[in-house]
Amino acid sequence: MATPSYKERMKAARAAASAQREAAERDWKRRAEPHHEVLRLALDAVKAGIRARGDKPWHSAQLQAQANAMIGPWLVAQARARIAERNLRYSSNPQSPV
């Protein structure tokens, strides 16, 4: 077989670079997901507490400060459990977009 043409070599190089970028993006998202899930759970809990008292949600900086103070090991464990459940649900569904 003859050596690949310049066009074929460039196509292969672009495909390899694209695969590498996509792998790096998936890795970054996998590492960032627990952090964002913890923040989301904490913020939702703070908002729910405020609404349970009958107040309206406050300014976002105050909400975020309360949410950050609320973060603890139990919340991290809960976030990991939600992520695992979501990943299991999507991996078992062949029609899922993920």
Kindly give the confidence (pLDDT) of every residue in the chain, 98 residues in length, as a single tens digit, with 9 standing for 90 and above.
678 899 999 999 999 999 999 999 999 988 888 899 999 999 999 988 888 988 877 788 888 899 999 899 999 999 999 988 988 887 776 665 54
Q: Is residue 27 part of a domain?
A: no
Examine residue 44 and state whether it is found in any structural domain, yes or no: yes
Q: Which pTM value belongs to this model?
A: 0.65
Domain of 72, in residue numbers = 33-98
DSSP 8-state assignment for residue 67:
H
Q: Is residue 81 part of a domain?
A: yes
- Asked whether residue 89 is domain-assigned, the answer is yes
Domain count, the chain: 1
Instruction: Let me know if residue 3 belongs to a domain.
Output: no
Identify whether 2 is part of a domain: no
